[in-house]
Amino acid sequence: MYTLVDRATGNVITTIGDSDFQIFQEHLVSESSEDFDFYLNQASLMYLQEQGLGEEIVKAFEGRLDGRGMDLGWEKQTPEQVDLHTGSVVDDEGQPLGGIRIDLLDQAPLQTGRLQAEHTLLDWTYSRADGTFHLHATKDAPGTQLRFSGRGDLVLSTAEVGAIGEQGQFTVQTITGIVTTDVGPPLTGVSVQLLNWSLEDGESDEEDALGGTLSWGDTDETGRFAIPVHLPEDAGPVTLSLEILAPSGESLYEGQTSFDPAEGFEIGELMANRPTENFGEEEVDLEQVVDRPFEHPLG
């Protein structure tokens, strides 16, 4: 059995068996052998249903994909009566942070703020909406390190593993702000993508992110977003390159903004365009269409 988790919130969507999971794996894109999430929207869900996805699985997504896509993390269900590493993930203000991937590693060279390094992966999970996580461990393979990765697979933080059991609370930096427009209320359900960052001395993220983005956060019902990151706090102002995408994939904003992490991670308002009605629904010549898999808009 497998558990499906909304990476934007940490909410559990449903659990699925081997046959349904195989349909996800066969028809949705994986970017690497350790890419444990899928991008799903209403169109791709309907396609999976045509391929035989169980009706009860389709029903589990009712109302969840309206006007948005979903980065869907998957994890193997932990057997009952096993040893567990437990803990929780919070943001800079101590609020629970869901949807963060936590890996249990063994003898792994790690570097915070870079993409995933060489390692032995023992288990993985996603923090739940309340920030908590559970990882399967054994006395023969208890693991040596925890790795916390954002929604673009950027390493946010690492920690040494103690004895099997409660590992405590871990804090992850989050860039926060609000997406507004020149007319009407703030935008809800759009994705704020961190494409890259740089310092005044020229230092920047040195590696391309998997899927084309370092990290991202969706806006809530008030238009606010939180992007998990790892940035230097004592090197002066940081310039961020950001893009805002509607669920349809339409780009609503692309630009740069600067702030000083030493003064906090709130970047204020980002002014975006409102989504175009029926964007992407224009008629196309099917003979001219190039087949593309259902994937994240930045994939």
The pLDDT of residue 13 is above 80? yes
User: Does residue 112 sit in the same domain as residue 66?
Assistant: no
Percent of the chain with pLDDT over 70: 81
pLDDT for position 114: 54
What is the tally of structural domains in the chain? 3
User: Does residue 13 sit in the same domain as residue 46?
Assistant: yes
Decide if 220 is inside a domain.
yes
DSSP for residue 81: S
291 contacts 29 by C-beta, under 8 angstroms: no
Decide if 278 is inside a domain.
no
What tens digit of pLDDT does each residue of 146-182 get?
999 987 778 898 999 888 899 999 999 999 999 999 9
Decide if 218 is inside a domain.
yes
For residue 6, the enclosing domain spans: 2-76
**CATH code for position 105:** 2.60.40.1120
Decide if 94 is inside a domain.
yes
DSSP for residue 288: G
User: Mean per-residue pLDDT for 221-239?
Assistant: 88
pLDDT for position 49: 94
Decide if 209 is inside a domain.
yes
Nearest Cα to Cα of residue 141 among 166, 108, 164, 168:
164
The pLDDT of residue 256 is above 50? yes
Last residue of a domain, one of 76, 103, 126: 76
User: Does residue 242 sit in the same domain as residue 197?
Assistant: yes
Q: Which two tokens stand for residue 294?
A: 């259902």
Decide if 277 is inside a domain.
no
List Cα–Cα distances, 249 to 73, 78, 295, in angstroms.
20, 35, 11
C-alpha to C-alpha distance for 211 and 35, rounded to whole angstroms: 11
User: Does residue 186 sit in the same domain as residue 256?
Assistant: yes
User: Does residue 224 sit in the same domain as residue 252?
Assistant: yes
The pLDDT of residue 206 is above 60? no
**Which has the minimum average pLDDT: 125-139, 168-182, 281-295?**
281-295
Q: How many CB atoms are closer than 10 A to CB 42?
A: 16
Last residue of a domain, one of 12, 45, 76: 76
**Which has the minimum average pLDDT: 3-7, 17-21, 67-71?**
67-71
User: Mean per-residue pLDDT for 8-15?
Assistant: 93
pLDDT for position 211: 39
Q: Which two tokens stand for residue 119?
A: 């390692």
Q: Specify the higher pLDDT residue, 198 or 232.
A: 198
User: Does residue 104 sit in the same domain as residue 162?
Assistant: yes
User: Does residue 152 sit in the same domain as residue 187?
Assistant: no
Cα radius of gyration (the chain): 19
pLDDT for position 281: 61
User: Does residue 192 sit in the same domain as residue 242?
Assistant: yes
6 in the Ramachandran plot: left (φ > 0), alpha (ψ -120 to 50) or beta? beta
User: Does residue 151 sit in the same domain as residue 233?
Assistant: no
Decide if 299 is inside a domain.
no
Decide if 90 is inside a domain.
yes
Helices (H) and strands (E) in the chain — how many of each? 3, 18
pLDDT for position 28: 85
**Which has the minimum average pLDDT: 13-27, 72-86, 119-133?**
72-86
The pLDDT of residue 106 is above 90? no
pLDDT for position 270: 96
The pLDDT of residue 132 is above 60? yes
User: Does residue 96 sit in the same domain as residue 72?
Assistant: no
C-alpha to C-alpha distance for 158 and 96, rounded to whole angstroms: 18
Label residue 71 by pLDDT band (50, 70, 90): confident
242 contacts 267 by C-beta, under 8 angstroms: no
pLDDT for position 111: 56
User: Does residue 151 sit in the same domain as residue 131?
Assistant: yes
**Which has the minimum average pLDDT: 149-153, 216-220, 247-251?**
149-153
pLDDT for position 141: 82
User: Does residue 141 sit in the same domain as residue 204?
Assistant: no
User: What is the average pLDDT score of the chain?
Assistant: 83
The pLDDT of residue 43 is above 90? no
